[in-house]
């Protein structure tokens, strides 16, 4: 069945990406690059149109050579998936098939569960123009469907790989959803903030800024809120006090 005698083995830690009859070397290279960006390692090709290796793939891979070097082509889809236990078809087209359809996010969650149990997963992607044929889809357990604008649903092949690879990586990413990057700085303490507030308010008082005087309390609160929304660092607080000191000196 296989067109070569190397036995494919699933990479632990991520699904294999299988491109069936890809046409453009550029897309193979771009897929390899984005796989590496998102921590996937095992790329398999079935009947690449322009043969293999393909220099256009190398050009677009931009250094993801470690992915391309391990690629070899298969003659049939079945030969490329022999040891795979869970097989997904990435396809946007609605098929007249009774089959589970998953979002990329749900699919990668399922794959991570299966791989945690030591089970192998792979995703088939079809050719640029025609996509997967129905026989290849019928070989798969489930369909992964990237949600797209129905008025313009044709995703570039490498972009489709990118979305699913990204979802796979993001599902394991520990980065907080929102974080204030501080570098070497540290958040200002309340003492530093109150020191800044009182410095500014003292100078504004001496310049007769708060008019009419009965509005002073609400103006002070607005200023303090505005400053606090900046989430000042210790250095920021010192810088602002320096600015106040400079401005009051006159020219």
CB of 110 to a second copy, least distance (A): 8
Does residue 159 touch a second copy according to CB under 8 A? yes
Least Å from the CB of residue 3 to a second copy: 30
Give the three-class secondary structure for 122: strand
Binding segment toward a second copy, per CB under 8 A, in 132-140, 147-155, 192-200, 239-247: 147-155
Q: Distance (Å, rounded) from C-alpha 30 to C-alpha 12?
A: 22
Footprint (CB under 8 A) of a second copy, residues 44-63:
62-63
153 contacts a second copy (rule: CB under 8 A): yes
Contacts by 48-51, CB closer than 8 A, 24 or more apart: 48/19, 48/21, 48/22, 48/73, 49/21, 49/22, 49/23, 49/127, 50/23, 50/24, 50/25
147 vs 245 by CB, closer to a second copy: 147
Residue listed under structure tokens 């907080």: 176
Q: Find, among 63, 12, 78, 71, the residue nearest to 44 by Cα.
A: 71
Nearer to a second copy, 1 or 177 (CB): 177
CB of 30 or CB of 80, closer to a second copy: 30
Q: Of residues 3-32, which lie at the interface with a second copy (CB under 8 A)?
A: 30
Yes or no: say if 46 and 76 are a contact pair by the CB < 8 Å rule. Answer: yes
Q: Which residues bind a second copy (CB under 8 A)?
A: 30, 33-34, 36-39, 62-64, 94-106, 143, 145-149, 152-156, 158-159, 162-163, 166, 169-170, 173, 175-185, 231, 233, 236
């Amino acid at each position: 069945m296989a067109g070569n005698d190397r036995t494919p083995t699933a990479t632990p830690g991520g699904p294999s990406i299988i491109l069936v009859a890809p046409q453009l070397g550029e897309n193979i290279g771009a897929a390899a690059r984005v796989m590496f960006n998102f921590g996937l390692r095992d790329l398999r090709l079935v009947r690449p149109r322009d043969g293999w290796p393909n220099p256009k793939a190398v050009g677009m891979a931009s250094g993801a050579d470690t992915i391309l070097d391990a690629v070899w082509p298969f003659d049939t889809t079945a030969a490329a998936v022999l040891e795979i236990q869970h097989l997904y078809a990435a396809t946007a087209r609605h098929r007249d098939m009774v089959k589970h359809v998953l979002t990329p996010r749900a699919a990668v969650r399922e794959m991570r569960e299966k791989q945690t149990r030591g089970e192998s997963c792979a995703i088939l992607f079809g050719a640029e123009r025609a996509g997967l044929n129905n026989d290849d889809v019928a070989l798969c357990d489930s369909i992964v469907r990237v949600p797209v604008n129905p008025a313009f649903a044709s995703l570039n092949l490498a972009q489709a790989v990118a979305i699913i690879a990204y979802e796979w990586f993001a599902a394991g990413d520990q980065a907080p959803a929102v974080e204030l990057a501080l570098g070497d700085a540290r958040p200002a303490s309340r003492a530093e903030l109150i020191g800044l507030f009182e410095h500014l308010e003292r100078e504004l008082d001496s310049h007769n800024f708060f008019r009419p005087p009965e509005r002073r309390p609400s103006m002070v609160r607005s200023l303090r809120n505005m400053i606090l929304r900046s989430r000042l660092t210790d250095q920021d607080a010192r810088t602002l006090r320096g600015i106040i000191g400079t401005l009051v000196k006159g020219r």
